[in-house]
Structures are given as structure tokens and as C-alpha cells.
Amino acid sequence: MTPPSEDPAAAATAAPAASETEEMSPEELAAMAEWEATAGEESNDPQATSTRILDQDEIDSLLGLKGKSGGDADKSGVQAIINSALVSYERLPMLEVVFDRLVRMLSTSLRNFTSDNVEVSLDNISSIRFGDYLNSVPLPAMLGVFKAEEWDNYGLMTIDSSLTYSIVDVLLGGRRGTAAMRIEGRPYTTIERNLVERMISVVLDDLSVTFEPLSKVKFRYDRLETNPRFATIARPANAAVLARLRVDMEDRGGRLDLVLPYATLEPVRELLLQMFMGEKFGRDSIWESHLTSELWQTDVKIEAVLDEFEISLGDVLNWTVGSRLALGAAPSSPIKLRCGDVDMFYGHMGRSGNHIAVRVAERLAS
């Protein structure tokens, strides 16, 4: 009997191509040979069960616990899946409109502030844990803390070192065409901090104006920090909205980050969920105004109450035709006007022609 012909597709999948093996490193080739040897041993004994046990390095790599050179955990494996599942935030469509308007206004404001050609662009808007953002801030940087007065909560603005030195260079008359000089390893000077504070005030004023169509709010500058630990305005696990802006001044510029925790935006969350400005979710203002005008023309029944008293049910059952009830009201006693169960007015009884009338003296219902 002739042996069955081998399937070329199976042979191609069983062994890697020669070009792929040439590109592999020696460590990868050794790992591949080890796996092939283990698979060969298991195929020779069909009744044997797989007894291969993962070592500690492979378990750490799978769980995302394998440390890097700096000691930080690798954001991969099962740990990354768990973290991504926990970070699930709702999308706020109107917030994109607000930041887009901020970019246009900020370009004009910074041009007037620096007397230079300034271009502001929005890189992206994303949701992030507040603690993850603070850990990712590249140092040195200036972190401006501001408060939303009407919302009674805080936000964070981060200016990186490139933008800090560029603003200082532009405001102090640096030459055009030369990159801003950086001096690493020293704290920011008082002049640099004061100039950056002025720029933060310009940004906050524009941010207040951009939110005005949705809700009147005043963003007030609170303090300036250079250490992210002292700029903590929310818990590390809390969700926040991160908007990254790019500020370009010809050949100079840098990045500006706006961080607004979801707790800060909670008072206007319903407004930010709108797809477009002025969305009413099915409400009809024309019908509302028509209904209001018709309500003012509705006839209601008003009762004039001379007096009220309590009596037992047994006494009521003993009433007969001709029984008399003594009211504690005199001709000059005030009379209560009632609509349904609501007391509306106090008045005095009198006569108007052939009718008994009540003159309103005091309003009770607001």
C-alpha cells in the first residue's frame, strides 16, 4: 500500500515559514522548540493528560502583574481587562460642542493676550480615572486648580513645561523663530508662575462663557500647584473627563489639559446628554403656553365658609328635622373662601343688591 499523501496546507501550518524563523530572536526560537517538544510528547501518549504547569513569570505576565524597570505594573493581561471593565462612563454629546466652542474662543483670546499668532486645536476628549491621570502627568508641569462656583466643585488645568516656557518667552518679548529655552532641574520662578496664572484666568473666563448657554457658571481660579499630589480634587478611582488642547504659537507651543470630574458636571448632566443645543426630549413649548392660557380661563368653584366645628358621629345621627346648629360667627366675623381643599382668601360678609356678597380682605394661598 502506498502511504497517504501529506496535506500541503497542514504542513504549512505545522511549521513556520523560513522567513518567519529568520526574523525570530534566539529566545523566541528556544521557546518555540520547547513548546514543540512538549506537544510531541503529549501526541505520543494519547492517554496522558497535559501536566504542563505555568511558572510564576508566566502567571504574572498573564495577570498583568509583571513589573517594569520602574516598578510599575504592566497594563496588560487579566488586570487590564478588569480595569477596562470598571472604566465605563456615559458619553456626553453636548460637552463636545462646549469644548469645540472653547477652542474657537480661546484662539481669539490668546491672540489678544500674547499679541502673537496663536492656534488652538482640540486633540481629543476622553474619560479617565482621576488617579490614572495624575500618575500620567509629565513633570515638570503647572497644575491650576479652579472652582465652579455655582456647581460647588472643582476642576483641574494642567500646563506642560513646553507651553509654560513658550508663554513666558512670548510675553517677555522673545525672538520669533527660536524655540523657547528650557532650564530643567529648577523650580518655576515667581515671574513664570504669575504669567501662567494670567493665562489660566484667560482660559477660565472663556470656559465660563462657553458653558453659559447650558448653565450659568463662574470658574474661579483657586491655586497653582507643581506637585500632582497637592492638586488632588477627587478620589483616585473617580471618573473624570479629560480634554487635551494643543496651543501653537508659530514654532513654539505646548499642551493644555482640562480635567473635569463627573461629580463636578453632575448638576448639568441632563443638559450635557442632549444631542443638540435646546433639545427638549419631546416637550412642546407651544402646547405648554396654550395650556397655560387656557388654565387662566377655567371656571372654579369657590365656597364661603362661615364657621367650622367638630361633632361626634353619634350626635349627627341624632339630628332630626328642625334641629338647630349654633355657629360661632357674628355678622362682623371674617369668612374663609375656599377652593376645593385649599383656603384662598379671608373676607367680610355683606350685601350687594339682592345678593349676599363677600369682600376679599386678605389673600392666604401664595
What string of DSSP letters covers 214-231? Answer: T----EEEEEEESSGGGG
Name the pLDDT band for 130 (thresholds 50, 70, 90).
Answer: confident
What is the pLDDT at residue 87? 47
What is the pLDDT at residue 9? 46
Rounded to whole angstroms, the maximal C-alpha distance in the chain is: 131
**Residue range 189-209: mean pLDDT, rounded:** 89
For the chain, the domains span: 93-176+188-272, 299-316+329-363
Find all residues with CB under 8 Å of 26, minimum gap 6, and list them.
Answer: none
H helices present in 172-268, as ranges: 190-211, 262-265
What is the pLDDT at residue 24? 63
* Residue of 159, 253, 258, 167 whose CA lies nearest to 211: 258
**Residue range 197-209: mean pLDDT, rounded:** 90
Rounded to the nearest angstrom, the gap between the alpha carbon of residue 69 and the centroid of all alpha carbons in its chain is 34
What is the pLDDT at residue 236? 84
DSSP 63-127: HT--B-TTSPBPS-HHHHHHHHHH------HHHHHHHHHHHHHHHHHHHHHHTS--EEEEEEEEE
CB atoms within 10 A of CB 67: 10
Classify 313 as helix, strand or coil: helix
For the chain, the average pLDDT equals 77
Q: Is the pLDDT of residue 55 over 80?
A: no
Q: Is the pLDDT of residue 38 over 70?
A: no
**Residue range 276-286: mean pLDDT, rounded:** 59
pLDDT tens for each residue of 166-187: 888 888 877 665 555 555 667 7
Question: What fold does the segment set 93-176+188-272 form as a domain?
Answer: Chemotaxis protein chec (3.40.1550)
Q: Report residue 68: phi and psi, to 5°.
A: -90, -175
**Residue range 304-315: mean pLDDT, rounded:** 85
What is the pLDDT at residue 72? 46
Q: Is the pLDDT of residue 40 over 80?
A: no
pLDDT tens for each residue of 85-117: 444 455 778 888 888 888 988 888 888 888 888
**Residue range 125-137: mean pLDDT, rounded:** 86
Find out whether 221 and 201 touch, Cβ atoms under 8 Å.
Answer: yes
Name the pLDDT band for 125 (thresholds 50, 70, 90).
Answer: confident
Number of H helices and E strands in the chain, helices first, is 13, 10
